[in-house]
Each structure stands twice: as structure tokens, then as C-alpha cells.
Chains A and B, each alone.
Chain A
Amino acid sequence: KAGVTQTPRYLIKTRGQQVTLSCSPISGHRSVSWYQQTPGQGLQFLFEYFSETQRNKGNFPGRFSGRQFSNSRSEMNVSTLELGDSALYLCASSLELGGGYEQYFGPGTRLTVT
């Protein structure tokens, strides 16, 4: 089975622009979560989607948003980019059926804001 895929892998944007990152979960997985990883703050939870509904949201400003489609694929969007948004953005999926709550991560999207 293919793992979690994320596109693009690398992205360079300018302050003030917006960006959309994409995540395709493992086939059959219904939950998709997003995390931000930075050297200073470590791994921080952004939000989680299940059956196209946001179930959880972390402590990030409203500039960070996401959605999930009917095929479980997910996108996250960051508007009005700031230098501090430079990070590795990781997507993870979990099955949840039958107690499969462990999350499997994709390779991440490295976002650089200049």
C-alpha cells in the first residue's frame, strides 16, 4: 500500500503571499492531521479532519486553514505568509476503524518564506 504523499515537497514563497499544500492519505484512512515542525517550537498540531469535518484545531491563527475532500485527500492553506511560517509541514493519516489510531506521516512539505 502506498504511504502518505505530500505535494509539493519544497516551496519558496514571499511574505504576504498565500500557499496551498496537499496531502493524500493512505488508502482507506479517514483521518488526516497536519503538523508544523520548526527548530524553535518543535512539532505542533495544526488541525485534524475526519469525513470532511474539522474535529480538532491547534493554537494557530486564522491564517491557517484546511479542508478535506470526499476521497479523504486534504489541503491546508496559509494566507498572508510571514517569515515565521517557514517550517516543515507534515501530514499524517490514520485508519481509526477497529482502533487504528496510530498516525502515519508523509515526507512533509518544506516551506521557506522570504
Chain B
Amino acid sequence: AQSVTQPDIHITVSEGASLELRCNYSYGATPYLFWYVQSPGQGLQLLLKYFSGDTLVQGIKGFEAEFKRSQSSFNLRKPSVHWSDAAEYFCAVGRLTGGGNKLTFGTGTQLKVEL
């Protein structure tokens, strides 16, 4: 069965500092990988996705993520964090089973930005 681990429940960074959120996945084949962000009381917004090809993917809001098959990781990075980035971030692995499309999420990382 597929699974996703986000080891950091909470992370605090200063505005302007760099950010890396960790994500490890377990999946038997080449996965589809995603990062979503959720602000309080809101739905999930897709930041970026990896299906195949270039292992460094660029997303919205200045975020990027790198797929490392050898480490089963898909860490999210941002070179300079803004106060508006404070939110909860979810890593997800997608699977097409019997033609179906299903996401398995990690438990999320709550990001706090200090001004």
C-alpha cells in the first residue's frame, strides 16, 4: 500500500530565510507526487506536481521540489519565505488503480513564519 511520511509536524522559520519541508513516500512503482497548501478554513491549493521527466519541478509562489527516487523523497523548497507562506503543507502520492485516481496524503507540516 502506498504511504506518505512528513516527519516534521511544525516548522518555524524567519521571514526571508530558506525553507525545506520533507516528504518520504512508499510506493511500488513510479509515483505521481504532489504538494498542496492549505490556509485555515480553506481547501487545498496545488503547489506543484511530479509525474515524470525532470526531477526538479517548479511550482507556484516560488516553490520547487526535487524527486529523489533513491531516497524515496520529494522535498519542497523555497529560497526566501514570505509571511504569507504561513499555512499547512501536505505532500501526497497519487495512484491510478484500475483506472481510478486516488491520493494518499501525509499528515501535514504546519509552517509558522516569524517576522
Contacts and interface: CB of A to CB of B under 8 A. Distances in A.
Interface of A: 4, 31, 33, 35, 42-43, 45, 48, 50, 55-56, 58, 90, 92, 94, 96, 99, 101-108, 110
Contacts of A33: 101-103
B44 A101 contact: no
Nearest to A104: B46
Contacts of A42: 105-108
A9 to B, nearest CB: 9
Given A105-B44, A108-B43, A55 B100 contact: yes
Contacts of A43: 90, 103, 105, 108
Contacts of B102: 33, 45, 48, 56, 58
Interface string B39-67: 00111111001010000000000000000
Contacts of B75: none
Interface in B73-115: 90, 94, 96-108
Interface of B: 32, 34, 36, 41-46, 49, 51, 90, 94, 96-108
B49 A102 contact: yes
A108 B38 CA distance: 11
Given A55-B100, A55-B101, A99 B51 contact: yes
Given A43-B90, A99-B51, A105 B43 contact: yes
Contacts of A50: 99-101
Smallest CB-CB A-B distances: 5 pairs: A55-B100, A56-B100, A43-B105, A105-B44, A105-B43
Given A42-B108, A102-B46, A106-B43, A56 B97 contact: yes
A114 to B, nearest CB: 20
